Structure 1
């Protein structure tokens, strides 16, 4: 199996290694040399591998150690893929709402993963629901790895210690595993997930992955149930030496439900960063469990059925993205819309859920 991946990425070329955050930029002529002419690892690549990863590739066959990705005419660099919407937790803040265990069987899923690769995707996020409870997770993960994608897994960690998962991820290292932390004590964690023993399963998975040296970080989910433990959650991450990001803004469900908003901890909400534009739909896309491609996890309107259109359907996604960014619906007539810095698809889901203006609009105080 490959040690490195050489691939086009947007308007340039990269040399990356699964399981490592480091990358080396490739001149176009070097990439072409690898794609067309090289049989053994060139000396310049061996030098780059030694400098960047302390990896010795001298004298090795190129095909045994480097996967050279073919160019794509679609120009996508990143994507996310929901394997299913099912989960073994029942968190009331979850934006997925109904947690249905449905999705593609293996032949269709295999076609979908090839289409994602053919779109040019180098970084792929596997998510859910909980991806590791999906019965096809091992096959899905291994194929994305074999096709030369740098894989991030978003997980609650409850299945991370399973021998089949740990062996798979240790042998074929992901780019990153992001674990959600729902509290610093069993009482808080199990209460938020509404699953007795969830904290114990999380710790078991985290400890197993940490001991195996897998690349980990944490997502600190701060709600009204665990806000009193926010400092303890940060200290928890520090004890493991893990980077973390905090999430306090809960989104309405993908079905337009507002029930998730009641879980927010008002004292922990911070102003959103002003929206400066986004590459969703242009260099990034999201795929749901049935192969429907949308511009992102939030903007799911006008999705493209990839199982029908194939990768060619993605050529329509840029136009969909531009149309979804127009100030329409609940923002029509706002005299401040010319200076609005809120993601329009995000604003739409809050408006459909009849959420308070201050949950999503930067001009809420002015408009009030």
Structure 2
């Protein structure tokens, strides 16, 4: 749970100021991925001049690491102009793309600006499954060609993919593809709700026991049961500057809380009441999670808590289930002496987990909910899990629900 030496050094030098920023430059995409959290075409985009001015602001604010993303960033005609200026300002630049527009010429141009890495989404080792996920025929061939072009010109590439129920058994094939290109491979074992709260993406995840088995196989645990620092940060919300295509500053890509607009200056987004609250929020401020005996192996998310239980500061089912599995793994002790799917806080009683009663709110906690009403909302259900071979109703981003045949 302790910070890395580099993180400790940066914290001493820069304090709590964000050192990392992500700009979602484009509000459009040439894919319509079934699991995507973004809703395209509703925000609008900053002009070239506004984006370049934003880069200057970020440099003055001391940001070191910059991710350029979308939507699909390469759909912007000024993509290379933005990339060039970002490198001139000495940012360490990562690029997120689906690769559909990257041909040999564009790959060569990108290589001239030396990004730290280009992250490309590839969802399956089988073209028909990848193309079903993206809803773009031929996208597998175009994306894999883009990876090859980038590697040809020496650009570091990270292939990334969530784990879907329809691709669960393919991780070795995908890793072999990445290795063949000389690329890194990164897996995401959770799918999150969309910007509008729609939880359709969560339906595409494998069953929890399959996710757990995958994590044990691909990421052998190095966790220990160290004590959770009660004044340690809960997550990275507001530690990273997340800027929407229209210039709005959000705490992160998942938490839809407008903090300000970069056209009014970065201070509007970094020093607003909500930004300061999130930046200063620590584990002991959480009414129940702060009392949980397995908080030290919990990776909770304010946005997911809102989506699952309607309370950003509360325990929620998926985080508690993951924490129980991690606790069991690192301690070798038995599972909870409570019902499956129970939500914390928990106590350890004779080597087993028992659920604690919820605690009454303190005055400070009541004030937090009053001062920041977005901390609570009406939660939505996720719906039944989608399995290979089913005929199901699915809602893609920005679309009405349609009946789709899920690949086997």
Shared fold (TM-score, shorter chain, > 0.5): yes
Q: 1:196 aligns with which of 137, 150, 163?
A: 137
Note if 1:232 corresponds to 2:191: no
Whether contact under 8 Å (2:234, 2:281) holds in the other structure is: no
Distance 1:332 1:99, change over 3 A: farther
The answer for the alignment partner of 1:308 in structure 2 is 264
Residue 249 of structure 2 is aligned to residue 293 of structure 1: yes
Residue of structure 1 in register with 2:21 after alignment: 79
Find out whether 1:344 has 2:286 as its counterpart.
Answer: no
**Structure 1 residue 282: Cα displacement:** 5.9
1:256 equivalent in alignment to 2:197: yes
What is the Cα deviation at residue 73 of structure 1? 9.2
Instruction: Give the aligned partner of residue 318 of structure 2.
Output: 359
Residues 204-219 of structure 1: pairs in structure 2 closer than 5 A: 204-219=145-160
Matched, 1:321 2:263: no
Is the alpha carbon distance of 1:73 and 1:142 closer, same or farther for their aligned partners in structure 2, counting shifts above 3 Å? farther
Q: What is the aligned partner in structure 2 of residue 277 from structure 1?
A: 233
CA 1:333–1:176 in 2, change beyond 3 Å: closer, same or farther? closer
Q: CA deviation at 1:313?
A: 4.4
Aligned mates of 1:201, 1:76 — CA distance in 2: 36
Contact 1:80 1:124 (8 Å CA) reproduced: yes
Q: What are the equivalent positions in structure 2 for 1:105-254 lying under 5 Å apart?
A: 105-161=47-103, 163=105, 165-254=106-195
Q: Which moved more, 1:204-213 or 1:261-270?
A: 261-270
Counterpart CA distance in 2 for 1:284 and 1:335 is 23
On the 8 A contact 1:192/1:226 being kept in 2, the answer is: no
| Unmatched tracts of structure 1, length 5 or more | 1-7, 13-71
Structure 1 CA distance for aligned equivalents of residues 261 and 249 of structure 2 = 6
TM superposition score normalised by structure 2? 0.64
Distance of aligned partners of 1:311 and 1:168 in 2 relative to their CA distance in 1, 3 Å threshold: farther
Tell me the TM-score normalized by structure 1: 0.70
Alpha-carbon contact 2:122-2:140 (below 8 Å) kept? no
Matches within 5 A, 1:20-35: none
- What is the match of residue 62 of structure 1? none
* Rounded Cα–Cα distance in structure 2 between residues aligned with 1:80 and 1:203: 25
Deviation at 1:281, TM superposition (A): 5.3
Q: CA deviation at 1:310?
A: 3.9
Deviation of the 1:238 alpha carbon: 2.1
> Is the CA contact 1:327–1:344 (under 8 Å) kept in the aligned structure 2?
no
Q: 1:312 to 1:98 in 2, by over 3 A?
A: closer
The 3-state SS of whatever aligns with 2:265 is helix
TM-align CA RMSD = 3.4
Which deviations, in whole Å up to 9, do the C-alpha atoms of 1:9-32 show, x marking residues without a partner?
Answer: 5535xxxxxxxxxxxxxxxxxxxx
- Tell me the CA shift for residue 222 of structure 1: 2.0
1: CA distance between counterparts of 2:80 and 2:187?
A: 29
**Could you tell me how far 1:337 is from its partner in structure 2?**
5.2
- Report the Cα offset of residue 229 of structure 1: 2.0
Matched pairs, number: 298
Q: Mean alpha-carbon deviation: is it higher for 185-194 or for 219-228? A: 219-228
The 1:242–1:145 alpha-carbon spacing in structure 2 relative to 1, beyond 3 Å, is: same
Deviation for aligned residue 1:166: 2.1
Specify whether residues 121 and 143 from structure 1 end up closer, same or farther in structure 2 by C-alpha distance, changes over 3 A only: same
Q: CA deviation at 1:200?
A: 0.9
Cα shift readout 1:279-305 (whole Å, capped 9, x = no counterpart): 735652211111122222223324221
Instruction: Write the distance in 1 (CA, Å) between the matches of 2:107 and 2:194.
Output: 32
CA separation of 1:213 and 1:278: change in aligned 2, threshold 3 A: farther
Equivalent position SS for 2:173: helix
CA distance in 2, matches of 1:352, 1:320: 19
